[in-house]
Amino acid sequence: MLFNSLGFAIFLPIVFFLYWFVVSKNLKAQNTLLLLSSYYFYSCWDWRFLFLLIFSTLLDYYTGLKMSNSNSQKSRRFWFWTSICINLGFLGVFKYYNFFASSFAEALSGLGFNVHPSLINVILPVGISFYTFHGLSYVVDIYKNRIEPEKNYITYAVFVSYFPLLVAGPIERATHLLPQIKRKRSFDYYQATDGLRQILWGLFKKIVIADNCAQYANMMFENPDHFSGSGLLLGAIFFAFQIYGDFSGYSDIALGTSKLFGIELLQNFSFPYFSRDIAEFWRRWHISLSSWFKDYLYIPLGGSKGNTWMKVRNTFIIFIVSGFWHGANWTFIIWGLLNAIYFLPLLFSNKNRHHIEIVAKGHFFPSTKETFSILITFGLTVFAWIFFRAESVSDALNYISKIFSSSLFEIPRFPKMGRAKTTILLTVFMLIIEWLGRENNYALEKIVPKWKAPIRYAFYYAIIFCIFWYGQKEQQFIYFQF
């Protein structure tokens, strides 16, 4: 069930009505409704994988209780590693087995040995990377004595499978989400209207920006030989806005939907394309994943402490693992490597924490230096996105080589140029609104409510019109494949 589907447009009001008008006085009933709704939501993708989700939930729930009740560190360690190995084992089999088997066979082939490994032909369970990381963080936090295990199964199961975040995040922490699930919730009109506003903006970014940019990005990445260097460069930029509109749009819809039920989720995007360096970009892009890797991988490895070699090692590990998390393909690993290389100058100069506040805070325009920094960071990011989007490393290299040709300076020409220009104008419009609202949690949070009612509602109707007028056939979200 897609957020941008008719099915979800029917599902959400029904759950909302039952939640606030039927079971609102009973917290246990509210949580049970959320759990059953989440399981139904997930089963709409493929009901068979619902059993994998339930098994993973039971495993980590039971592991938490066993670790808490263990009388020895040896027993705690046994349950901890049992959960870690099983969770990562499922993730490895479904997501990475074919990659490792094929890569191993290719390596042996280079040495003169012909090996034909048995590959598995199975659909990747949607959201497996996200709910696995929910469970892993919960188990680690209990093992490290940061939290107490949740004794109520329904409460814990909602934490893992809460439908707004189930299939593509944000990756929540038990310390943030569990207390909200356990607390009695009352309807808040301002919170609900704010949620609807955020949903509307998320749908605009997904349906109007991402899905339309996808047409041209797909066209150029699938047939690079048919376009000029300037056209391919434009295609890479189209993909940059496709993936941003797609994933940040999803996150806005997820956060807005959750607000309708009185639950606040972690912010997942904070205007990353306004970043002045790559470190700032990663503090603003997919925030929940970046912070997860920082807390559960980077810091345990030593973080930025230790000698220069350790800092460099830890930087490459976290970016390579981040790339590999996105998919079983060498393109993602190279994408991670590129971002690690981008990060090194900041690490060596101790400027990786240089830009903490949003750019031009309190000012309408950025300085000349900030403008150039934003453009350079965006350019580096777009270059790395080429590897992220390409089907193979050779495809990415071919795409890049054709960009940097003599045709780079030609006026780009491709089919449906008129509609492409409209897409560019709509993307510029999105950037203007995001720039105006960049100091808030999402673009419309504070700026639109300040407008007079006629202007405010005209804006809402214009956004709704664009969604219906420029909307394509239902398009799946990119991050569902991760």
CA distances from 356 to 151, 297, 360, 365, 372 (A): 38, 22, 12, 18, 18
Q: Nearest-CA neighbor of 56 among 145, 166, 151, 141?
A: 166
Residue pair 386/288 in contact (Cβ under 8 Å)? The answer is no
Instruction: Note the Cα 188 to chain centre separation in Å.
Output: 27
226 given a catalytic annotation: no
Torsion of CA 35, 37, 42, 44, to 10 degrees: 160
Amino acid at the residue 227: F
CA distances from 270 to 157, 274, 362, 439 (A): 28, 9, 16, 9
Could you give the CA distance from residue 295 to residue 367 in angstroms, rounded to a whole number? 34
**DSSP SS3 for 2:** coil
CA distances from 425 to 169, 221, 247, 428, 461 (A): 29, 22, 20, 5, 18
Could you give the CA distance from residue 373 to residue 434 in angstroms, rounded to a whole number? 18
CA distances from 121 to 53, 98, 366, 448, 476 (A): 20, 9, 51, 49, 21
Could you give the CA distance from residue 61 to residue 35 in angstroms, rounded to a whole number? 15
Of 326, 354, 355, 363, the catalytic one is 326
Q: Quick one: three-class SS letters along 212-248?
A: HHHHHHHHHHHCHHHCCHHHHHHHHHHHHHHHHHHHH
Neighbours of 424 (CB within 10 A): 17
Residue pair 233/407 in contact (Cβ under 8 Å)? The answer is no
| Rg over CA atoms, the chain | 23
- Ranges of H-type helices in 437-474: 444-447, 453-470
- 274: which DSSP letter? G
Residue pair 220/398 in contact (Cβ under 8 Å)? The answer is no
Diameter over CA atoms, the chain: 74
What residues contact residue 337 under an 8 Å CB cut-off, 6+ apart? 316, 319, 320, 323
Could you give the CA distance from residue 291 to residue 266 in angstroms, rounded to a whole number? 11
**DSSP SS3 for 94:** helix
Amino acid at the residue 278: I
Which residues belong to the active site?
Answer: 326
